[in-house]
Chain A
Amino acid sequence: MSYYLSTIAVYFGADLLAAWALNMQFGWAGVPNFAFIIFQAAGAYTYAAVTLGPDSGVNSFQHYILGANLPFPLPLLVAALAGGVVSLVVGLITLRRLRRDYQAAVFLLAAVIAIDVVSADVNLFNGSNGLAAVPQPVASLQNSLGLGAYQWVYAAFVALICVGALVLVRSLGRSGWQRALRAARDDEPGARALGLNPSILRLQVFVIGGMIAGLSGGLLVGFISAWSPGAWAYSETFAVLTGIILGGVSNDWGVLIGTFLIQIAFQEVTALFLPQIGYPGLTDALVWVVIGVLWLTVLFVRPRGILPEKRFRVLAVPRTRIWRGGR
């Protein structure tokens, strides 16, 4: 039981990082990043590639492409960097003055194609079998503490990163930069008239979100020590997004609640505790059908989510001062 709980805690932390990152892009900036999972996968694969080390001949089933074996905190940084770099490349192509629905289509198709190519090309990241035996960080700790305690230490570490991310997200959320993003989202010509450059703003938030996505991918692969195309189907983005929409787009605490309800209370708990019905894989397929139905239901019943986005009342303070003026 303790083992399950620590596992779920780590998943929740990684999902939460992903959800906050996607919420920055989708909620604040209105970028319909339906390829979000690609950036998480980029972080995860990079983490694996820089920790697996040279081919020792033990696991001859996989290709070793970099042969690096970096010490603990570095792979996470490299993973975040990889997420950022892939975001920059994708963002430079897609974040032009393009209608939002076309952007959405391009992102969705990019996610579908990327997984097809990575699954089929064995030379890239071992194809559909994926990478296994990725070393966990500070393996010596695992030997001295035992697996159960090590999992909790890892969960605490993830929680620490989540707190850091929350501080970052909250402080960014109060900044003029975030208000500029929302202005560009709600009224692009108006934002342009104020001298803002929506394309640059969106590229910035896209890269920041991509880095957090890469970090969460690195944290996941460091924990489960394996990564394959099965972990990043294009639909995974929609699990994250359904959580965001359910909780409340552009509301950090709403995103937390929604992510917990969808990704943990629904997805993980059904995966871990529900008995498998029918043939293997039926439950998974049905879970996705339910997520699709939930998505439609939330859009219909409560499109602004459990905790709706707060409105800014920036003008209220200066105006009172002017009226009482003369001081």
Chain B
Amino acid sequence: MSSTILLQSIGFGITTAAVVAIGAMGFTLQLGVTNLLNLSFGNVMTIGAFASLIAEHWHLGLAATIIAAPLAGALVTFVLARTLFALFARRQGGAFDLLMVTLATGLIIQYTIDALAHLQVFQFSFPSGSTLNIGPFVFTVLSLSLVGVAALVLAALLAVLHLTRIGKALRALSVDPKLARACGVPMRRMINLTWIISGALAGLAGLVYVTNSLTVDASAGLDFLVLVIAAAILGGAGSPVGAVVAALVVGIASEVVAAVGGSYYSQAAGLGILALVLVLRPASGVWSGPSRDEVTV
């Protein structure tokens, strides 16, 4: 492989990393605070993408197109969490039982979208702007703004988590929910806030995914979920900075692999990284043993 192709794919990788990072930050926040591995996250990303698609189709303007995705994601996630997940959490409560519920939810969402969308793949047109050469890399205005959005989300999340009382409460909840509650943290309100923020990030991730890939169908979010989860687990549950760094690794690796082996291997690269993380066992709190099984939804 020539070095130009390598550099080019690293450039693409940075854009992909921005897309992955937004989803991974939402996922890691959700996982860190609620301890629920929500496998319907990918399908919520699809919902976000379709919400923007519909807004664009109805010519509601660029602002409405951009706002539709996080809005839909937050709404769907909040409703699901407060109705379905809360219902099952009251009955059984184990992390794995609830994972099965999120799985069925994802299945229902995916095939409902499939049925509504007549099994079609939709084109998504988004103004990508002019191309810019920065050093050896080639970016478009759009891909640079994706990187900007990811950086903005990271900065906002870090500011909330480390500079405000809400952030302190969220971090306390993720470490020890019972103790946090005993200390007077308004648990219900904080959990609801987590669902809304992470849901909005899921929807936004769906939108940025389609602005990058330009097509969307009912399984788009699930296909992309592997990169998101790989980054979230590699970065460590509950750590936004870790998620972004891991997203850079996952994004660049997936694009380099895609340049070598064909585009369909890019997600396989994500799976490979995930497998590697599991084999090499870094201290990211995902190993069995003294881990808490309760979820707080």
Q: Which residue numbers of A lie inside 8 Å of B, CB to CB?
A: 32, 34, 93-94, 96-102, 104-106, 108-110, 112-113, 116-117, 119-121, 188, 235, 238, 279, 281-282, 285-286, 288-289, 291-293, 295-296, 299-300, 303
CA gap between A93 and B223 in the complex, in Å? 21
Chain A residues with CB under 8 A of B39:
104-105, 108
Are B288 and A188 touching (Cβ within 8 A)?
A: yes
Inter-chain contacts of A235 with B (CB < 8 A):
107, 111
Interface residue? B142 (CB, 8 A): no
Q: Is the Cβ of A99 less than 8 Å from the Cβ of B288?
A: yes
Instruction: Determine how close the nearest CB of chain B comes to the CB of A45; give it in whole angstroms.
Output: 17
A105 to B105, CA, bound (A): 14
Report 12 cross-chain contacts, Cβ distance below 8 Å, ordered by A residue. Answer: A96-B278, A98-B278, A99-B286, A108-B103, A113-B267, A116-B264, A235-B111, A238-B103, A285-B111, A288-B111, A299-B100, A303-B97
Cβ contact of A97, chosen from B96, B222, B270, B289, cutoff 8 A? B289
B191: CB under 8 A from chain A?
no
A84 to chain B: closest CB distance in Å?
A: 19
Chain B residues with Cβ below 8 Å from A112 are 219, 222-223, 225-226
Complex-state Cα separation, A311 to B263, whole angstroms: 50
Q: Give the distance in Å from the alpha carbon of A208 to the alpha carbon of B87 in the complex.
A: 37
By the criterion CB–CB under 8 Å, are A99 and B84 in contact?
A: no
- CB of A99 within 8 A of CB of B279, answer no
Q: With A93-B275, A98-B288, A300-B87 known to touch, is A285 a contact of B103 (CB < 8 Å)? A: no
Are A292 and B107 CB-contacts (below 8 A) given A101-B96, A102-B37, A109-B225?
yes
- B95: chain A residues within 8 A (beta carbon): 99-101
A324 to B262 Cα, complex, angstroms: 74
Q: Is the beta-carbon distance between A292 and B104 smaller than 8 angstroms?
A: yes
- Within 8 Å by CB of B107, from A94, A99, A295, lies A295
Interface size on B, residues (CB 8 A): 50
Q: A101, A285, A296: which has the most chain B beta carbons within 10 Å?
A: A101
B288 near A113: Cβ-Cβ < 8 Å: no
A288 to chain B: closest residue by CB = B111
Given contact pairs A97-B288, A300-B88, A113 touches B115 in the complex (Cβ within 8 A): no
A97 to B287, CA, bound (A): 6
Task: Tell me which residues from 4 to 39 in chain B have a Cβ below 8 Å from any Cβ of chain A.
Answer: 37, 39
Beta-carbon nearest neighbor of B226 in chain A:
A109
User: A238 — which chain B residues lie within 8 A by C-beta?
Assistant: 103-104, 107
B108 near A113: Cβ-Cβ < 8 Å: no
Q: A110-B271, A120-B262, A291-B107 are in contact. Are A299 and B288 (CB under 8 A)?
A: no
Most buried by B among A98, A102, A288: A102
Q: Is the CB of A106 within 8 A of B274?
A: yes
Per a CB cutoff under 8 Å, which of B114, B222, B233, B267 touches A102? Answer: B233
The distance in angstroms between the C-alpha atoms of A93 and B278, with both chains bound, is 7
Complex: A32 Cα to B281 Cα, angstroms: 20
Contacting residues of chain B (190-237) with chain A, CB-CB under 8 angstroms: 219, 222-223, 225-226, 229, 233
What is the chain B residue whose CB lies nearest that of A32? B96
CB of B86 within 8 A of chain A? Answer: no
Whether B108 pairs with A293 at a CB distance below 8 angstroms is: yes
Known interface pairs A117-B268, A281-B119, A300-B88; 13 further A-B residue pairs with C-beta atoms within 8 A, sorted by A's residue number:
A97-B289, A99-B286, A101-B99, A102-B37, A104-B37, A110-B271, A112-B225, A113-B270, A119-B264, A285-B112, A293-B108, A295-B107, A303-B97
Inter-chain CA distance A106–B225, complex, in Å, is 11
Interface contact B267-A96, CB-CB below 8 Å: no
With A32-B96, A98-B287, A99-B287 known as contacts, the answer to whether A105 contacts B104 (CB < 8 A) is no
Can you list the 8 inter-chain pairs with the closest CB atoms, starting with the nearest? A120-B264, A292-B108, A288-B111, A292-B107, A285-B115, A295-B104, A101-B37, A109-B226
B91 in contact (CB, < 8 A): yes
Do the beta carbons of A104 and B96 come within 8 Å of each other?
A: yes
Inter-subunit contact B275/A102 (CB<8 Å):
no
In the bound complex, residues from chain B placing their C-beta under 8 Å from that of A99 are: 95, 286-288, 291
